């Protein structure tokens, strides 16, 4: 499933393609939305923004297209009149005179007015967005002391979108490793310095992943691995998807286990359970 950084990069591409432009047509591949397509005739795209793992595309008619890629959704930006070579099913198309933004395979799509945005069940539960430039590390650390979160294991908490929106499976492994914390630890059991460090790392790793297209290693470290012959996938992370391989810091063997129904990766030495 794409995480916050990937959705934000998709939003950048779609914004460049259609923001400020008047649409010639909006199409829906989901029957229950087809009747809403006419509401966008001659409307202008006024905003394209990510929110957690969702995409919000606003129009000057007061409506917003909401989408969540879930596991299989994928956006394409194409010259007008052309479609990508794919076997996926087209779910939504935003067509302007020169560019088309096309969403394939996603099933979680909706047309929302102002009230619908405020009451949407996914959007309403979201915490602050990790990619919001106004969110700082101190605020994240303070949320760790909130009664809703302080007794939750970090492995589950870092997937909870009401804690910080936009985090996902690879980011939680990388954040916990960089913060030198075990996923089974709870905020209530951490020292104040640990909570502050976790707040800093949560934002640093998420923003680095946005800037690099999903690479959580420092740029110099990733570049050195690529020069040594590693693929992009092998030079991407500290621990995620590296089970039974050597930790890049201490040399111990990376372990994988399931937590909150999803795989997580840990260095037993760097992330010793305290």
Which residues have a catalytic role annotated?
2-3, 53, 262
* Spatial distance between the Cα atoms of 233 and 256, rounded to a whole number of angstroms: 17
Of the candidates 3, 9, 49, the one whose C-alpha atom is nearest the C-alpha of residue 167 is: 3
Residue 7 DSSP SS3 = helix
Residues 171, 216: contact at Cβ < 8 Å? yes
Residues 199, 140: contact at Cβ < 8 Å? yes
* Spatial distance between the Cα atoms of 201 and 81, rounded to a whole number of angstroms: 44
Residues 113, 63: contact at Cβ < 8 Å? yes
According to the 3-state scheme, what is the secondary structure of 186-237? CHHHCCHHHHHHHHHHHHHHHHHHHHHCCCCCCHHHHHHHHHCCCCCCCCCC
Q: Which residues pair with 108 in a beta bridge?
A: 68
The region that residue 81 occupies, defined by phi over 0 for left and psi between -120 and 50 for alpha, beta otherwise, is left
Q: What helix, strand, coil percent values describe the chain, rounded to 5?
A: 30, 25, 45
Residues 40, 63: contact at Cβ < 8 Å? yes
């Amino acid at each position: 499933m794409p995480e916050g950084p990937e959705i934000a990069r998709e939003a950048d591409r779609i914004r460049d393609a259609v923001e400020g432009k008047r649409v010639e047509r909006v199409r829906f591949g989901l029957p229950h939305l087809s009747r809403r397509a006419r509401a966008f005739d001659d409307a202008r795209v006024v905003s394209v923004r990510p929110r957690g793992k969702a995409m919000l595309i606003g129009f000057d008619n007061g409506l917003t297209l909401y989408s969540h890629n879930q596991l299989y959704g994928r956006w394409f930006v194409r010259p007008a009149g052309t479609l990508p070579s794919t076997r996926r099913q087209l779910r939504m198309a935003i067509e302007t005179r020169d560019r088309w933004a096309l969403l394939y395979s996603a099933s979680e799509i909706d047309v929302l007015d102002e009230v619908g945005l405020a009451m949407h069940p996914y959007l309403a539960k979201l915490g602050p967005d990790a990619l919001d430039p106004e969110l700082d590390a101190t605020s994240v650390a303070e949320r760790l002391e909130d009664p809703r979160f302080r007794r939750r294991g970090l492995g589950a908490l870092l997937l909870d979108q009401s804690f910080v929106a936009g985090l996902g499976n690879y980011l939680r492994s990388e954040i916990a490793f960089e913060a030198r914390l075990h996923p089974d630890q709870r905020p209530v059991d951490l020292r104040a310095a640990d909570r502050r460090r976790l707040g800093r790392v949560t934002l640093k790793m998420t923003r680095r992943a946005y800037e690099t297209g999903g690479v959580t290693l420092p740029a110099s470290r990733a570049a050195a691995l690529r020069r040594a012959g590693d693929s992009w996938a092998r030079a991407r992370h500290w621990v995620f998807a590296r089970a039974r391989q050597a930790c890049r810091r201490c040399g111990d063997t990376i372990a994988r286990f399931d937590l909150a129904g999803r795989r997580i990766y840990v260095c037993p030495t760097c992330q010793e359970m305290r």
